């Protein structure tokens, strides 16, 4: 089975680096599972956008796009649940 590639937006990479280390580890574990199947249990499609999905990791949310043709997952946001949907 071909694994999906995971790419972070540059601003999202900064957000990820600023997370507490235990949250970084949990997010990393979730991302590793998503490489096999990007629509694992807990992944929900966001309303109002054709491309965006989200998954909960404790009090944090990962918002991402799935590109099946390129086998790519683009992480667009990694934030606390209170801040993730604010622009």
CA distance 53 to 55: 7
pLDDT > 70 in the chain, percent: 99
pTM: 0.89
How does pLDDT run across 5-46, given as a tens digit for each residue? 999 999 999 999 999 999 999 999 999 999 999 999 999 999
Which pLDDT band, with edges at 50, 70 and 90, does 86 fall under? confident
Instruction: For residues 57-79, give the mean pLDDT.
Output: 95
């Amino acid at each position: 089975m071909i694994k999906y590639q995971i790419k972070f937006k540059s601003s999202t990479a900064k957000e990820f680096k600023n997370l507490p280390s235990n949250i970084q580890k949990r997010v990393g574990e979730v991302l590793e599972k998503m490489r096999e199947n990007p629509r694992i249990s807990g992944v929900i499609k966001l309303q109002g956008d054709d491309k965006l999905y989200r998954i909960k990791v404790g009090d944090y949310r990962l918002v991402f796009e799935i590109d099946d043709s390129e086998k790519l997952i683009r992480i667009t946001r990694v934030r606390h649940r209170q801040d993730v949907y604010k622009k």
